[in-house]
Structure 1
Amino acid sequence: MENQTLHKTLKPIHLWAIAVGMVISGQYFGWNYGFTDGGVIGMIIASLLVTVFFACFIFSYAELATSIPNAGGPTAYAARAMGPFAGYVTGIACLLEFVFAPPAIAVSTGAYIHFLIPSVNPVFITTGIFVLFIVINMIGMKGAALIELIATVIALVGLALFYTAGLPYVKLENLAPAGAPPVALGGVLAAVPFAIWFFLAIEGGAMAAEEVENPKRDIPRGFISGILTLAVATVLTLLVTAGLGGGEGKPADYPLPQALSNVYGEGSWIVIAVSVIGLVGLIASLHGIIIGYSRQTYALSRAGYFPKFLSKLNRHGVPVWGLLIPGAIGVVCAGSAAFASALIELAVFGAVLMYCLSMISLFILRAKEPRLDRPFQVMFPVVPAVALALGMLFLFCVVRYSMMVKVMPILGVNIPLWAVVVFIYAAAILYYAARGRHSVSSEKAAFAEQP
C-alpha cells in the first residue's frame, strides 16, 4: 500500500468551501434550462422540492460520511452495506456525475468569456481552462483547497452583488406571467433535472473525508453550513432571475448577466461585474469537481475495482493518473459545446442514482451494524425516508424526461442519452466481470471497513 495514503490537512472552512464551491456554478448557469420545460412556476415548484430533498439528503449523508470517512464516499458506503458489486455500481454512478459535470461547467465558462469578449473562440477557452485546472490540482490538497476557498468566497460576493442589483427591479408579473399556460405536473417533473443542478455535487466534500483533520467533528459542520448557504442562494437566484424576466426566451449559458441586462443594458458595469465574478464561480466548481473525480477514481483503484496505477500518488499526495485520465475524457467532451445540456443531464442521472443508493445504504447499515460508531446521527428514519422517496421520484423524472427523450450528438450521429448510459455501464460491468471482481475480493474488507 506504499504511497497510497492521503494527507490530513483540511479544516471545516475548507470542507465548506469544497462543498459549496463544487456547487456554486449551479447558481450561475445550467438550472435555467428548466424554464423551457416547466415554465417559471413549474421551475419554482421543482426547485422547492429539490431544496427539501437536498436538506434531508445532506443531513443523512453526514451520518454516512462521519461513520465511514473514506475517499470513496458513496462507493465505500454501498460496498460496506451491500457488498463490492453494489459499491462498484455506485462508484460508476458517482463518476458519471463527476466526469460529465466539469466539461459542462467548462463550456459555460467559455460562453461567459465569449459574452464578455465576443472575438474569442469559446471552444479554445473551454478546453484551455479545463487543462489549466487539471494542472493546478497537481499542487496538493491543501493548496487546492485554499484556491477553492478564495474562489468560493468571491463567487458568493458575485451572487450578493446580483441580488442587490436585481431585487429592486423584480416584477411579480414575471414570476407568474398572465398569459402563461396552467402549471402541469409533467412540466414540474421535467424541470426537476435542471433544478437539481442548483445543488449537484455538494456531496463531493465526502471524497475529501480522509484529508480532513477531524472528520467526525468537522464533516457535519462543513456539510450543514454548506447546505444552508446553498439553500438561501437558490431561493434568491431563482427569484431575482425570474423576476427580471430571465425565464422568458431561449435559455443562455449566462442567465444572471442576461437577466440583469434586461434592466441595466448589456454594456453596463454591473452586468460586466457579475459576468466576471460569475467566471470565478464557474472556476470554483470546475476546480472542486476535479478534486472530487480524482479522489473517487483513486478510491476505486485503491479498492481494486480499477487498475492500481490510478491510485498512485505524487510527492504532493495527489492521485496523478486518477486526475489525468478522467480529465482527458472531460477535455474531449468540453471541446464540443453542442451537447452542454446533455452533459448536465448525464451528470444529474449519475448523481440521482448515487443519491438513492446512498440512502438505501444508510438504511441497511442501520439494521446491519447498529453498533457502528456514528458521531453524527440524522433523525432516523424520517429524514432519510423523505430523501429516499424524493430521490426515487427524481430518478424517474431524469429517466422519463431526459434519458428517454434527449440525445447527444457524437460524430454526427444523435445518440439517445439512455444508450450512452447503457454503453458506459455495460463496459464497466464487463470490466468488473473480467478483472475487477478478482482484484477487489482480496481487498474488500480493507475498503469496506476503512476507519
Structure 2
Amino acid sequence: MTESPGLVKSLRPYHVWALGVGIVLVGEYMGWNFTIAKGGVLGSLLAMLVAGTMYIMISLCASELGSATKLAGGPYDWARLFIGPGAAASVGLAVYMEYIALEAADAIVVAFIAQEIFPELQVFPVTLLVIATLTFINYRGVVAALTLNFFMTAIAFLAIIVFFFSGTFGVFDLQPERLFQGAVPNGLIGLFAALQFGPWFFLGIEGAAMCAEECKQPSRAVPLGQQAGMITLLVGAAMTLFVCTMLLDSSVPAEGLGVSVYPLFEAAQASGIYLLIAFLALGTLLTCLSSANGCVCDSSRSWFALSRDHFVSPWFSTVHPKYQTPYRAVIFTMPIAIAFAFSGYLDQVITFSIVSGLLCYVLIPFSLIRFRKMFPMHVSKVRPFVSPLQPWIAWFAMAIAIVIMSTLFWGYRYNLLFALAFYLIAYFYFHNRHKKYIKHFDWGKEMGWPNPSHHKTEAVE
C-alpha cells in the first residue's frame, strides 16, 4: 500500500496572522456589542479587558505548544501528547464544533447582507453557496485559501482604522458624552453577565497555531503570526468600542448599540459619509467571508488529526496527491456546517461555538502545564519558543475561562449543560477506548524527543 503524501510546508508568518485574525476579526464587526446589552458600556469594556487578558495568555500558551509540536491538530494534539486520549478527543471535537458553528454563523450573516443588497435573494441558498465555495477553495490548497484570507482580512482591518481616525480627526462628529450614558444599566450583575460575550472580540485566535505542520519554519512563524494577530485584535477591539459607543444614536446604548446586528456598519451609516459607509459595508462582507474561510481550514485540520490517530474513521486522514490538502476532512466540514446553518438560530449557533472554545481555553493552558512538567528547561531543544511567566499565566487563563463559562447561565444555561454533557460523554468514551495508547507511546519515533522526565523507560544518567 502506497503511503499517503504529507501536508505541504509552505506557510509564512503572514499566513498564520491571516488565519488567526481572519477568523476573529468578524467579532469586531458584530456580536461584541451584546456585551453592552448585558452590562452597558462599562460592562463591555470590562468584558473586553477580561477576555483580552485571557486570550493574550492563551496565545502565549498556544505559541509555545504549536512551535514545539509542529502538528496540524493544534489543541487536539497538545491534549493527546500531554494529558491523555479522553481529553484529546474532547478537545478535538470542541475545536471542530467551535469552528464549524462559527463558519455557519458567518455564512448566515453573509447571506443576510446579500439579501439586503438584493432583496430577491433567499438566505438559505446563499448560505449554501458560501459554504460550498469556501470548501472548494480549501480543497484546492491551503496557500491559496490563506493568501485570500490575508487580503480580505487586511482590507477589513484597514476599514476599522480609517473609520477610527476619520472620527478622531473630525471628518464626522463624535459625542464623548455617550460613553457615560447607560454605562451600567443592569448593575453589578450586568457587568458579570456581559463576560459571556467577551470572547467574541477574540474567539478563535488560538487557531492560528493549527497550521504549524504546514509552516516552513514553525518555530518562527507560529509565535510571530500568533502574537501579531493578538495585537491586531486588541487594537481593533478598542477602536471599535470607542467609535461605535460615541456614534450610534441612542439615549441608552444598551437599547440601541446593544441590539445592533452590524454595529460597525450602522455606525458608519450614522456618520453620513458615503465613502465610509461603502468601505465598512465591504469590510463587513469580507470579514465574514474571511472568518468562514479560516474556519474551514481549522476545523478540517482538527478532524484530520482525529482521523489520523483513529479517534474517528482513518478514511478522513487521506491527503490529496496533487493539492496536498486533507481533502476528505475539508469536504466533511460542509454537511456539518450546513446542518448548523439550517437551524437558523444564529445566537444559539454562536453560543455553542463559544462554549466549545471555552472548553479549549481550559485545556490548552493545562496542556502547557503538563508539557513543562514533562519536558523541563534542561531539554529545551524541544521548546524553540518559551513564553514568559509560566506556569502562572496558564493557571490564571484557566480560571478566567471557567469564570466566563459560568456566566452563560444568564440566558444560555441549557446550551451550556448540553455542551458540557456532550464533551463529558466524549471524554469517557474515548478514554476507555484508547487508554492503552499512552502506555505504548514512542516519543522518539513520533516527535524526535527524548522521553519525558517522569517516563518509566527513561535511562538513568
TM-score, normalised by the number of residues in structure 2: 0.87
Q: Which runs of 4 or more aligned residues in structure 1 lie more than 6 Å from their structure 2 counterparts after TM superposition?
A: none
Gap change, CA 1:361 and 1:142, over 3 Å in 2:
same
Per the alignment, residue 387 of structure 1 pairs with 397
Report the Cα distance in structure 2 between the residues aligned to 1:448 and 1:112, rounded to whole angstroms.
50
1:312 aligns with 2:318: yes
Amino acid at match of 1:254: Y
Gap change, CA 1:443 and 1:347, over 3 Å in 2:
farther
Q: How far is the alpha carbon of 1:449 from its aligned partner?
A: 4.5
1:176 aligns with 2:180: yes
In the alignment, structure 1 segments of 5+ residues that lack a partner are 405-415
Give yes or no for contact 2:98–2:352 (8 Å, CA) kept in 1: yes
In the alignment, structure 2 segments of 5+ residues that lack a partner are 449-461
Report the Cα distance in structure 2 between the residues aligned to 1:188 and 1:70, rounded to whole angstroms.
39
Gap change, CA 1:422 and 1:353, over 3 Å in 2:
closer
Report the Cα distance in structure 2 between the residues aligned to 1:165 and 1:16, rounded to whole angstroms.
26
Per the alignment, residue 210 of structure 2 pairs with 207
| CA deviation vs aligned residue, 1:280-318 (integer Å, no higher than 9, x gap) | 111111101110001110011101111001111222112
Q: How far is the alpha carbon of 1:343 from its aligned partner?
A: 1.1
Per the alignment, residue 452 of structure 2 pairs with none
Per the alignment, residue 364 of structure 1 pairs with 370
Report the Cα distance in structure 2 between the residues aligned to 1:419 and 1:395, rounded to whole angstroms.
11
Amino acid at match of 2:401: G
Per the alignment, residue 291 of structure 2 pairs with 285
Report the Cα distance in structure 2 between the residues aligned to 1:181 and 1:87, rounded to whole angstroms.
41
Amino acid at match of 1:377: V
**Structure of higher CA gyration radius:** 2
Report the Cα distance in structure 1 between the residues aligned to 2:421 and 2:223, rounded to whole angstroms.
37
Q: How far is the alpha carbon of 1:4 from its aligned partner?
A: 5.2
Report the Cα distance in structure 2 between the residues aligned to 1:423 and 1:361, rounded to whole angstroms.
21
Gap change, CA 1:8 and 1:199, over 3 Å in 2:
same
| CA deviation vs aligned residue, 1:57-99 (integer Å, no higher than 9, x gap) | 2112211111211111111111121111121122122122112
Report the Cα distance in structure 2 between the residues aligned to 1:422 and 1:355, rounded to whole angstroms.
14
Gap change, CA 1:312 and 1:402, over 3 Å in 2:
farther
Which runs of structure 2 are paired with 1:88-107 in the superposition (5 Å)?
88-107=89-108
TM-score, normalised by the number of residues in structure 1: 0.89
Gap change, CA 1:447 and 1:288, over 3 Å in 2:
farther
Report the Cα distance in structure 2 between the residues aligned to 1:100 and 1:39, rounded to whole angstroms.
27
1:329 aligns with 2:336: yes
Report the Cα distance in structure 2 between the residues aligned to 1:352 and 1:69, rounded to whole angstroms.
23
Calculate the aligned-residue CA RMSD, in Å: 2.5
1:301 aligns with 2:314: no
Report the Cα distance in structure 2 between the residues aligned to 1:198 and 1:150, rounded to whole angstroms.
20
Report the Cα distance in structure 2 between the residues aligned to 1:11 and 1:65, rounded to whole angstroms.
14
Amino acid at match of 2:89: Y
Report the Cα distance in structure 1 between the residues aligned to 2:165 and 2:248, rounded to whole angstroms.
16
SS across alignment from 1:31? coil
Equivalent residues, number: 434
Question: Which deviates the most, 73-82 or 380-389?
Answer: 380-389
Amino acid at match of 2:110: T
Per the alignment, residue 232 of structure 2 pairs with 229
Which runs of structure 2 are paired with 1:21-36 in the superposition (5 Å)?
21-36=22-37
Give yes or no for contact 1:116–1:275 (8 Å, CA) kept in 2: no
Identify which of 397, 402, 409 aligns with 2:407. 397
Identify which of 254, 265, 270 aligns with 2:276. 270
| CA deviation vs aligned residue, 1:12-40 (integer Å, no higher than 9, x gap) | 11111111111111111121222221222
Amino acid at match of 2:383: R
Gap change, CA 1:312 and 1:25, over 3 Å in 2:
same
Identify which of 234, 239, 259 aligns with 1:251. 259
1:432 aligns with 2:430: yes
Which runs of structure 2 are paired with 1:130-209 in the superposition (5 Å)?
130-167=131-168, 168=170, 169-177=173-181, 181=184, 184-209=187-212
| CA deviation vs aligned residue, 1:102-124 (integer Å, no higher than 9, x gap) | 11111111222233333432332
Gap change, CA 1:235 and 1:6, over 3 Å in 2:
same
Gap change, CA 1:402 and 1:322, over 3 Å in 2:
farther
Question: Which deviates the most, 130-139 or 110-119?
Answer: 110-119
